[in-house]
């Protein structure tokens, strides 16, 4: 699994090898996964967006990968946390669910999140469809436990 991960990571260009497209700064309000689907590349006036652990990133600078016809076009307009963690291209894994992921998969996902934080502008946050306080708190709790800070504190405390 680690070898596959390294191969997949190696398919991306270094940020130094690519001149970003000039685009106006974008910031979305909190949106649902359903609303995120509108940013998958069918409308050339809209940016290509993708979410990891509920955080939405503008991946338009790598349209050759995430735009229509690109190798990772199926990821655009979705929260693909589960797919990235499992290195999966299965449509059923194109979601933000972190349920039943093992520690190795969570670490892989964390590495992907670091890559996205470094390469792409964060432009928004996903909110759950269900608006009850309990469901939102539960989702935020899962994202917090797998955040960069959460992983670091876990190792610092020896949990």
- Nearest CA among 13, 3, 5 for reference residue 119: 13
Domain 23-154 bears CATH identifier 3.10.120.10:
yes
Residue 38, both tokens: 């509108």
d(CA 150, CA 82) in angstroms, rounded, equals 18
Torsion angle (degrees, nearest 10) of CA 98, 119, 47, 68: -80
d(CA 49, CA 123) in angstroms, rounded, equals 9
82-93 pLDDT per residue, tens: 999 999 999 999
Q: What is the distance of C-alpha 15 from the center of its chain?
A: 17
Residue 156, both tokens: 């610092």
38-81 pLDDT per residue, tens: 999 999 899 999 999 999 999 999 999 999 999 999 999 999 99
| Torsion over CA: 82, 86, 88, 91 (sign) | negative
> DSSP H helical segments within the chain, as ranges?
2-10, 33-36, 63-66, 81-86, 103-119, 133-145, 148-157
Domain ranges of the chain: 23-154
What is the pTM for the complete model shown?
0.69
Residue 144 has pLDDT above 70, yes or no: no
Average pLDDT, the chain: 82
Q: What is the distance of C-alpha 127 from the center of its chain?
A: 14
């Amino acid at each position: 699994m680690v070898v596959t991960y390294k191969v997949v990571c190696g398919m991306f260009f270094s940020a130094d090898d690519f001149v970003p497209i000039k685009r106006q700064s974008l910031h979305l309000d909190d949106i649902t996964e359903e609303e995120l689907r509108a940013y998958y590349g069918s409308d050339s006036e809209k940016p290509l967006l993708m979410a990891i652990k509920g955080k939405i990133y503008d991946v338009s600078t790598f349209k050759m990968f995430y735009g229509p016809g690109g190798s990772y076009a199926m990821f655009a307009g979705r929260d693909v946390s589960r797919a990235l963690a499992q290195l999966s291209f299965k449509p059923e894994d194109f979601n933000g669910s972190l349920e039943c992921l093992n520690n190795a998969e969570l670490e892989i996902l964390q590495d992907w999140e670091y890559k996205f934080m470094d390469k792409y502008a964060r432009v928004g946050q996903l909110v759950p469809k269900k608006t009850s306080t309990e469901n939102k708190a539960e989702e935020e709790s899962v994202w917090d436990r797998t955040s960069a800070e959460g992983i670091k504190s876990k190792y610092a405390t020896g949990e």
